[in-house]
C-alpha cells in the first residue's frame, strides 16, 4: 500500500475506513483500477482534506454525522463525501444483485408496485440526474422512495434514511463504461446491490423512526 494512503489511514481524527472487500472483488462489473483510484485517490482525498480543514478547530471533536448536520461549504462537502463513500462501498457486494427477501421485499412491492418497477425507477432516476451526485433508495415516514442528490448532498440532511446508494460521479464508472452511465447502473443494480445491507439499514430506520414504530404495532 502506498505510504501516502497509510498516512491517511492513520490520521488523527477522521480515518479512512477499510474497503469491505478486495479491489478486484467487484469485477467484471466495476474494475480493479476503478476501485483502486476511487478508494485510494478520491475517497482517501476527502478524508485527508477534512482532517486538514478541522485540525485545531472545535469541529475536530465532532462525529462525522453531527458535522454533516451542522456544517456548510468545504467542511460539509468533504465530511458528506466520506459518509457517502463509506455507504457506497457497503451498498455493493461481490455476490450482490437479485432481489431482497422478506419484509423489505414486501415493502418494495407495497411502495413501487413490483420489484421490476423499483428497478425501472432506480435506472430512470440515475440516468436523468444531471452532472455529479448520488442515487439513493431511502426510507422516510411514509415509506420507501428513490431519490438523487447533487454533488456531496445526502438524505441525512432531509430526515430520510439511506438504504442503498450508487455514486453518479463520472469517476465511479468512466474507466469501465465511459459515458454510458445507464450500463454502469444496470450492472450495479443487477449484480452488485447489497440487499442485506439495505435490509439492515431499513430495520434500523424502522426502529428509530416514531411513525414507522407506531405503524408496525
Ligand atoms: Mn466517488
DSSP code per residue over 161-201? EEEEEEE-SGGGTHHHHTT-HHHHHHHIIIIIB-HHHHHHH
Instruction: Mark whether 115 and 203 lie in a shared domain.
Output: yes
Which regions in the chain score pLDDT beneath 50? 11, 210-217
In a domain, 148, yes or no: yes
The pLDDT assigned to 9 comes to 52
The pLDDT assigned to 59 comes to 84
Neighbour-count burial for 192-207, b at 16+ CB within 10 Å, e otherwise: bbbbebbbebbeebbe
The pLDDT assigned to 12 comes to 59
How many structural domains does the chain have?
A: 2
At which of 90, 112, 131 does a domain end?
90
The pLDDT assigned to 211 comes to 47
In a domain, 97, yes or no: no
Instruction: Mark whether 74 and 7 lie in a shared domain.
Output: yes
> For residue 121, how far is its CA from the centre of ligand 1 (angstroms)?
22
The pLDDT assigned to 7 comes to 55
The pLDDT assigned to 213 comes to 41
Range of the domain at 86: 2-15+31-90
> For residue 143, how far is its CA from the centre of ligand 1 (angstroms)?
27
The pLDDT assigned to 37 comes to 98
The pLDDT assigned to 56 comes to 87
> For residue 101, how far is its CA from the centre of ligand 1 (angstroms)?
29
Q: Which residues pair with 144 in a beta bridge?
A: 139
Instruction: Mark whether 113 and 208 lie in a shared domain.
Output: yes
> For residue 49, how far is its CA from the centre of ligand 1 (angstroms)?
15
Cell numbers for 166, please give them.
Answer: 450508487
> For residue 24, how far is its CA from the centre of ligand 1 (angstroms)?
17
> For residue 46, how far is its CA from the centre of ligand 1 (angstroms)?
10
The pLDDT assigned to 161 comes to 96
The pLDDT assigned to 2 comes to 63
pTM of the predicted model as reported, rounded to 2 decimal places = 0.91
The burial class, CB within 10 Å (0-12 / 13-18 / 19+), for 164 is buried
Instruction: Mark whether 72 and 139 lie in a shared domain.
Output: no
In a domain, 26, yes or no: no
> For residue 80, how far is its CA from the centre of ligand 1 (angstroms)?
11
In a domain, 96, yes or no: no
Instruction: Mark whether 206 and 114 lie in a shared domain.
Output: yes
> For residue 167, how far is its CA from the centre of ligand 1 (angstroms)?
6
Amino acid at each position: 500500500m502506498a505510504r501516502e494512503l497509510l498516512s491517511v489511514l492513520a490520521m488523527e481524527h477522521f480515518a479512512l475506513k477499510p474497503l469491505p472487500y478486495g479491489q478486484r472483488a467487484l469485477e467484471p462489473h466495476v474494475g480493479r483500477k476503478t476501485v483502486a483510484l476511487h478508494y485510494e485517490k478520491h475517497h482517501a482525498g476527502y478524508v485527508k482534506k477534512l482532517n486538514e480543514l478541522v485540525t485545531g478547530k472545535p469541529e475536530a471533536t465532532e462525529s462525522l454525522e453531527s458535522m454533516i448536520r451542522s456544517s456548510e461549504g468545504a467542511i460539509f462537502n468533504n465530511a458528506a463525501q466520506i459518509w457517502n463513500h463509506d455507504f457506497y462501498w457497503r451498498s455493493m457486494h461481490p455476490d450482490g444483485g437479485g432481489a431482497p427477501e422478506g419484509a423489505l421485499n414486501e415493502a418494495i412491492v407495497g411502495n413501487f408496485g413490483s420489484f421490476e418497477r423499483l428497478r425501472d425507477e432506480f435506472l430512470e432516476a440515475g440516468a436523468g440526474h444531471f452532472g455529479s451526485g448520488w442515487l439513493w433508495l431511502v426510507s422516510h415516514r411514509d415509506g420507501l422512495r428513490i431519490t438523487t442528490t447533487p454533488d456531496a448532498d445526502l438524505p441525512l440532511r432531509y430526515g430520510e434514511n439511506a438504504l442503498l446508494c450508487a455514486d453518479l460521479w463520472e469517476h465511479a464508472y468512466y474507466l469501465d463504461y465511459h459515458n454510458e452511465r445507464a450500463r454502469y447502473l444496470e450492472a450495479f443494480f443487477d449484480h452488485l446491490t447489497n440487499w442485506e445491507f439495505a435490509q439492515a439499514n431499513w430495520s434500523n430506520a424502522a426502529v428509530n423512526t416514531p411513525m414507522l414504530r407506531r405503524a408496525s404495532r
